[in-house]
Structure 1
Amino acid sequence: MESAHSPLPSVLCSVLSVKRQNCEVTLDPGRSLLSWRELRPRRGKDRSRPGICMTRVFHQARGLVNGFTHQFPSGGVTIPVTEIVSVGEEEIDEKYYNSMKWQHMCKPHAFTVRYVQRARKHRWRCKEVTFWCNDEQLFYQWLQALNDLLEQQTHRPKYLLVYINPYGGKKRGKQIYETKVAPLFSAAGICADVIVTEYANHARDNLYEVNLEKYDGVVCVGGDGIFSEVLHGLIGRVQKGSDVDHNNPNAHLSQCNIRIGIIPAGSTDCICYATVGINDPETSALHIILGDCQPLDVCSVHNKRTFLKYSVSLLGYGFYGDVLKGTEKNRWLGPARYDVSGCKTFLTHHCYEGSVSFQPAKWVLGSPRDQTPCTSGCYICRQSSKQLEEQQKTQVFGSEHRGKQDDDWTTIKGRFMAINAVSMSCACPRTPKGLSPAAHLADGSADLILVRKCSRLDFLRHLIRHTSNKDQFDFPFVEVYRVIF
């Protein structure tokens, strides 16, 4: 009998059955990988039977060993444990078992592994595979080993607060959550308290009152509007609890550590599209289940010493500001209101005279025209974040740094069609590359885009560039700068 303190095997390898085919299934805890490959049938009496355990201790796990490798045809499936959604015992359907498919197995046992399968264009799908065996001890050994590894994923949420906007987009938020998201949350063992919002800023107001200590995160189902409500509610509550005056533009805001998940069900879903890469509810739900986290830059907007709002995407004055203002009057049109308001604003061809002052972000890596998009684990964001943290610790960025850069302000005067400041690419299905394709999500800067007065035809050419791979800044009347905000 083995000692109670004996080490667990580094690799668990067994012959199990998948869809009536014998497969060698391997779990490598050291590399956090689960893989299975179909076994070629053997001749003679030494045929592999499902449930035969070949658990071994490999001091250096470098794939399969000895006589098993040559049995595999090309292919097989390998998935990281970090992308396994859930593992559970499968109930045996007596009718299915008695249909002669599994009668060669004595008292079969089955467990199902649900996992993420990556598809094209950043789309994720939840797939599942069921493993069968007739050895009860082996069955529980596999369940225990897989569940132990899943329990080590401590960053995954267990209890969520969900806000659903039933009026956003095509008014399908509640249906999307119930049919596409809730079943995935249930399969992953996530409990959720669901609140369907009844009026504007309902989510923001509720977040000031709800007990957040029992939740691992907040999920909003809808478009950019419901995300903005949740963002303002969480940041506002944290500042209130920390006695921070958000009306002071120089105040150092307390960091909000509660994660926000987005299930797209709006008209544009700009924030979801720019962070996940696609506005697909199932993909977003799987990112939330796996505990994926993406930091975002948050910009506060003030009028002198009065706080107006927080922004994580676009601050638009001129054309885009007029478009958004026009959409509020025609919300009954749904997503089509952006086309109606956009055409009307384009035909009016308004321009605005004024001056814009900004500080160039000289310390930030990259530039708005370097053709380097922000991706997961972005080097530019990582390095810029480290620099910001160092500056905050030494209080250089908060006081001395800003004081030394008082002379670095740049002022541009003129007549403008549009003045935009974006802290992310602002990509969406309408503009797949976004307003600034190389803008970064968490580098502490924003891209300032100035479109000077021009003809309707030139402005139309500039707008069309947003839907293509061409450089939308390559016009004499367009200027772009990476600035501190």
Structure 2
Amino acid sequence: MSAGVSARRQRGKSFDLESQTPAFSSSVDGQWEGLRLEGEPAQLRLTPTHLEWMFPGGRPGWHSLPLCEIIGVRPVPEAARVPKATWWGGQAAPCPPTAHIHTFRRAPGRPWEWHPRVIPVSHFDDSRALDAWCHSLQQGVAAVSTSRPRSLLIIVNPVSGAGRAPALAHAVLLPVLRAAGVACTVRATRCRNHTVALLRALSPAQLAAYDGIVAVGGDGAFHELVNSLFSEHRASLRALRLAHVPAGSTDAVACSLHGCRSAFGAAARVALGDDGLLDVLRVDLGPGRAPVHACCIAAAGFMGEVCARAEAWRALGPLRYDLLGAAALLTGRGVRARVSTLPSPLTGMAAERLGPGAEGAACRAGCPVCELAGEGAGASASSDGDVWSETDPPLDTDARRVPSDASPGGTDDLHQQGSPSALALDPMGPQPGTPPTKWESREGRWRSVKLIVTPCRSDKTPCGMARAGHLADGRVKVVLVPNLGALGMLRVLAHMAARGLAAGDLPGVEVLDVRAVRVEGGRGANLDWNLDGEATPA
């Protein structure tokens, strides 16, 4: 589950070229001759960290590709080779032995946006020499890629993105994982919360056979996966890596992790073993109800109303949010509630990572602050974002739970408490033993109450809902929008879409950094909550 590629991304063992390279006639002092790369005669050599090549008599100088960015090397079967036709229309020449190097290229000016790249390498006539070269390159890639997955469980939501998730999984995700040599088990959900049943059917030993689980769908698919693991296999969470391949209407999880909604980019990051930390919000809905977890947002008021009505209009795809949002602007009346918060000043490793002035540091696609979130995972991360995210339960759930008598008062109509579930484990968040902070309370009628966990970027909010939100900072951004009219709320939405919200941007709109929240609805109030795009009644 989380959504980079720098020099620190794949710290692996060094590769001894002389001891690892098989001896065959096309190799001279670690260099290979008689090969063609992208159709041109080339001289190739393998270093501990790069594949390098040059074109004699062609483009000058040596070109290189980091081994940690090679997804896989696969020989092309003879039956799949396409003979080259001659210009005079004669008999086509046989295609020489060929292998494909699967990697990616970065979009100009958008290094976090990855596109597939296949580099063909062929030998004039010796298939054994080409096979030996492929084996040497595979060994080099394996030596610097010790954290790559070998076995994955893939859960596909067939209705996500107006039904395009299955086709995307078979056309994009599975070919990338096959090129990387990853064994895949694919399961499709049949109804809401079917992921719970799929995971419940797995024993702990069966689940341990997988290096991770990939959710293919929208934010709701990822949300369901996280909550299913918390309910069915909580003890296994620390050993699992989770990933999201975007195929939904909004895909805020993937956008926040990777900087874009590229399904290939997410799949490539999974195959390369990139990982990082992702904060998770625990939501306690009251006595007798199991906690629910959110990875992006928990919202009541405007977004809660839209989400509650959206499920019935799923056939419209993303358009339903625009239509229902317009209706909520004209008819919404806000919600009366008391909102109590525990402020969370930036401390510990989070302050060191974010640096001076971090309280207002803006988060963007390719954010250098979020890139460093992977350091807390104990594994590599890339300069282009985080691909894997690890969801860790708190060491002591009861110790992190907000006591009911700690609230500054109010009714018991609704108990909504949240804190990042990684708070007790993530060294970048507030640490146990931190001096207690006093609760702060605000009461009134709010047009919108948002608890934002990640930057929550999407096509509609490219700068994120919370402009200064960052991955794995151990905090929640609480956004309180007063009960504005339609034009006032439209101004808030336009500002959020253009720049993201931050403290002091708009009169009356508060943006708070907290570690726990308690929301109490007014007497008789019935709050509809939007948890990662899933409607959840209070």
2:188 matches 1:196 = yes
Select which of 474, 480, 487 maps to 1:450.
Answer: 480
**1:65-214 to 2 correspondences below 5 Å:** 73=60, 77-91=63-77, 96=83, 109-120=97-108, 121=110, 122-134=112-124, 138-152=129-143, 153-210=145-202, 211-214=206-209
Q: Distance in 2 between matches of 1:276 and 1:420?
A: 23
Q: Which amino acid is 1:314 matched to?
A: I
Map of 2:413 onto structure 1? none
Are 1:453 and 1:477, in contact at CA under 8 Å, matched by a contact in 2? no
**1:384-423 to 2 correspondences below 5 Å:** 400-401=433-434, 404-405=435-436, 407-423=437-453
**1:290-329 to 2 correspondences below 5 Å:** 290-305=272-287, 306-329=289-312
Q: Distance in 1 between matches of 2:191 and 2:251?
A: 20
Shift of 1:40: 1.3
**1:319-398 to 2 correspondences below 5 Å:** 319-362=302-345, 363=347, 364-365=350-351, 369-373=360-364, 375=367, 378=370, 381=373
Are 2:276 and 2:377, in contact at CA under 8 Å, matched by a contact in 1? no
Gaps of 5+ in 2: 1-16, 22-27, 379-393, 395-421, 517-538
Are 1:353 and 1:415, in contact at CA under 8 Å, matched by a contact in 2? yes
Map of 1:262 onto structure 2? 244
Segments ≥4 residues shifted beyond 6 Å: 382-386, 388-391
Per-residue CA deviations over 1:152-176 (Å, capped at 9, x if unaligned) read 3232122221111111221111111
Shift of 1:423: 0.8
Shift of 1:207: 0.7
Shift of 1:78: 2.0
Are 1:385 and 1:442, in contact at CA under 8 Å, matched by a contact in 2? no
* Farther-moved stretch of structure 1 (198-207 vs 112-121): 112-121
TM-score (norm 1): 0.78
Q: Which amino acid is 1:341 matched to?
A: L
Secondary structure of 1:459's aligned partner: helix
Per-residue CA deviations over 1:8-50 (Å, capped at 9, x if unaligned) read 5798323332244222222111xx1112232216xxxxxxxxx
Are 1:368 and 1:480, in contact at CA under 8 Å, matched by a contact in 2? no
Select which of 207, 212, 230 maps to 1:235.
Answer: 230
Shift of 1:299: 1.2
Secondary structure of 2:456's aligned partner: coil
Q: Which amino acid is 2:478 matched to?
A: L
2:491 matches 1:440 = no
Q: Distance in 2 between matches of 1:444 and 1:202?
A: 30
Map of 2:382 onto structure 1? none
Secondary structure of 1:169's aligned partner: helix
Shift of 1:100: 10
Q: Which amino acid is 2:60 matched to?
A: P
Secondary structure of 2:492's aligned partner: helix
Are 1:24 and 1:39, in contact at CA under 8 Å, matched by a contact in 2? yes
Secondary structure of 1:112's aligned partner: strand
Shift of 1:470: 7.0
Q: Distance in 2 between matches of 1:88 and 1:224?
A: 33
Map of 1:23 onto structure 2? 42
Are 1:315 and 1:420, in contact at CA under 8 Å, matched by a contact in 2? yes
Map of 1:251 onto structure 2? none
2:255 matches 1:273 = yes
Per-residue CA deviations over 1:199-254 (Å, capped at 9, x if unaligned) read 11111221122221221211111111111111111122233xx5xxxxxxxxxxx8
Q: Which has the larger radius of gyration?
A: 1
* Farther-moved stretch of structure 1 (193-202 vs 348-357): 348-357
Per the alignment, do residues 107 and 351 of structure 1 end up closer, same or farther by CA in structure 2, a change over 3 Å counting?
closer
Secondary structure of 2:462's aligned partner: coil
Q: Distance in 2 between matches of 1:309 and 1:319?
A: 20
Per-residue CA deviations over 1:443-466 (Å, capped at 9, x if unaligned) read 111111111233332221111112
Per-residue CA deviations over 1:115-164 (Å, capped at 9, x if unaligned) read 12222543322212222335667534422221112333232122221111
Shift of 1:307: 2.9
Q: Distance in 2 between matches of 1:200 and 1:214?
A: 26
Secondary structure of 2:464's aligned partner: coil
Map of 1:56 onto structure 2? none
TM-score (norm 2): 0.71
Gaps of 5+ in 1: 42-71, 243-253
Select which of 212, 222, 225 maps to 2:220.
Answer: 225
Q: Which amino acid is 2:281 matched to?
A: C
* RMSD (CA atoms): 3.5
Per the alignment, do residues 457 and 446 of structure 1 end up closer, same or farther by CA in structure 2, a change over 3 Å counting?
same
Q: Which has the higher contact order (CA 8 A, sep 6+)?
A: 2
Shift of 1:99: 5.4
Q: Which amino acid is 2:254 matched to?
A: C
Map of 1:39 onto structure 2? 56
**1:240-259 to 2 correspondences below 5 Å:** 242=235, 255-259=237-241
Q: Distance in 1 between matches of 2:426 and 2:213?
A: 29
Map of 1:475 onto structure 2? 506
Are 2:43 and 2:53, in contact at CA under 8 Å, matched by a contact in 1? yes
Q: Which amino acid is 1:182 matched to?
A: L
Aligned residues: 428
Per the alignment, do residues 95 and 353 of structure 1 end up closer, same or farther by CA in structure 2, a change over 3 Å counting?
closer
Q: Distance in 2 between matches of 1:340 and 1:285?
A: 32
Secondary structure of 2:457's aligned partner: coil
Are 1:465 and 1:472, in contact at CA under 8 Å, matched by a contact in 2? no
Per the alignment, do residues 376 and 149 of structure 1 end up closer, same or farther by CA in structure 2, a change over 3 Å counting?
farther
